[in-house]
Chain A
C-alpha cells in the first residue's frame, strides 16, 4: 500500500490543464431516448407541438442531458495507484436551454484534486469543470463533477 500523500505537488501542478474540445450535434431522437431512460414524459422533450407552443419554441433537452457528451479529460497522467472509480456528484449551472438542432462543444478543465482517508483506504477526489458552448458561442451550462478514485 502506498505511503505518504498521493496528491503531491507534482500532481497538483496539473490543476488548470484543459482537454481537447468535443463537439456533439443534439438530436431530437437522442433527447427522446434520454428522457425515456429517466421515464420523464415532459412534453418539452417529446412533443413537437407542445414544445413549439411553449416559451422555448421547440424541443429542449433535460437538465443532465449534457452528460451524453463524451467527457474527454485533460491529457495528464496523475499516476495514482488506485484502480476503482465512483461518480461523487455534480454541480450544474444553466445559462441557456439546450435545443434539438444545437451543436454543443465541451471543454473540460482539471479544477482541483484532493485526498482523504476513507473507509476503503485512501480516496482521491478529482474535480473537473466542463464548459458547454453552443453554435451561437453562448455558454449554455457549466458542470463541476467530482470523480472519486479509491
Chain B
C-alpha cells in the first residue's frame, strides 16, 4: 500500500528489496540497455582489466534502487530525483539488498515531498552503492492549503 505523506516519518525505513542477478540477467541488461562493455559478461576481458571477474553494471544497480523507491511509493507517488554513486564492485550471484531511510519531509509549492537516503549492500553487508531520492507523495488533506516550506529535518 502506497504511503500518504502524513504517514511517513523521518527515520522511517523503506521496505528492503533483495536482488541476486545471475550472469544471464547481466546479459539481458546489456541487451536492453545497450551497454555491451565486456567487463559485464566476458570473464577473460574483465580479469584482463584487473577485475577479479565480471561485475554488475552500475546502471543496473541504479535501476534496483529505482525499483526500491517506486515499489515503496506505488503508482500514486512520483519519483523526482534519484542519485546513485558506485563505491565498490558487485558480482553476479551475490545477494544485493537495497535499503533506504527517510531523511526529510517538506511541503513546497503544494508538493508533498519526501527525501531519503538509499544504499545497496552486498552479501557481506558492505555498502557498495549509496544514493538518495526525492519523491512526491499523495496527501491525506490535498485541499488544505499547505504551509509553505514547512520543513522538518532529521
State the A residues within 8 Å of B (CB). Answer: 30, 33-34, 36-40, 42-44, 54-56, 62-64, 67-68, 70, 84-94, 120, 146
Assess whether B83 is in contact with A89, with CB atoms less than 8 Å apart: yes
Q: Does B125 contact A (CB under 8 A)?
A: no
The answer, among B25, B66, B80, B86, for a CB contact under 8 Å with A64, is B66
Q: How many Cβ-Cβ contacts under 8 Å join chain A to chain B? A: 100
Q: Given the complex, which residues of A lie within 8 Å of B54, measured CB to CB?
A: none
- Whole-angstrom CA separation of A115 from B32 in the bound complex: 32
Q: Given the complex, which residues of B lie within 8 Å of A34, measured CB to CB?
A: 32-33
Beyond A33-B28, A38-B60, whether A70 also contacts B82 by CB under 8 A is no
In the complex, what residue of chain B is closest to A87 when comparing beta carbons?
B58
Assess whether B34 is in contact with A37, with CB atoms less than 8 Å apart: no
Assess whether B63 is in contact with A84, with CB atoms less than 8 Å apart: no
Assess whether B75 is in contact with A55, with CB atoms less than 8 Å apart: yes
Q: Given the complex, which residues of A lie within 8 Å of B84, measured CB to CB?
A: 89-90
Interface residues of A: mostly helix, strand, loop or mixed?
Answer: mixed
Q: Does B4 contact A (CB under 8 A)?
A: no
Interface residues of B: mostly helix, strand, loop or mixed?
Answer: mixed
In the complex, what residue of chain A is closest to B29 when comparing beta carbons?
A37
Nearest chain A CB to B28 CB, angstrom units: 4
Assess whether B81 is in contact with A94, with CB atoms less than 8 Å apart: yes
What 10 pairs across the A-B complex have the smallest Cβ distances?
Answer: A63-B66, A87-B58, A89-B85, A37-B28, A37-B29, A34-B32, A91-B83, A37-B32, A64-B63, A92-B82
Q: Does B111 contact A (CB under 8 A)?
A: no
Assess whether A37 is in contact with B25, with CB atoms less than 8 Å apart: yes
Assess whether A62 is in contact with B63, with CB atoms less than 8 Å apart: yes
Assess whether B59 is in contact with A67, with CB atoms less than 8 Å apart: yes
Q: Given the complex, which residues of A lie within 8 Å of B145, measured CB to CB?
A: none
Beyond A39-B19, A44-B75, A64-B59, whether A93 also contacts B66 by CB under 8 A is no
Q: Does B62 contact A (CB under 8 A)?
A: yes
Q: Does B50 contact A (CB under 8 A)?
A: yes
Q: Does B152 contact A (CB under 8 A)?
A: no
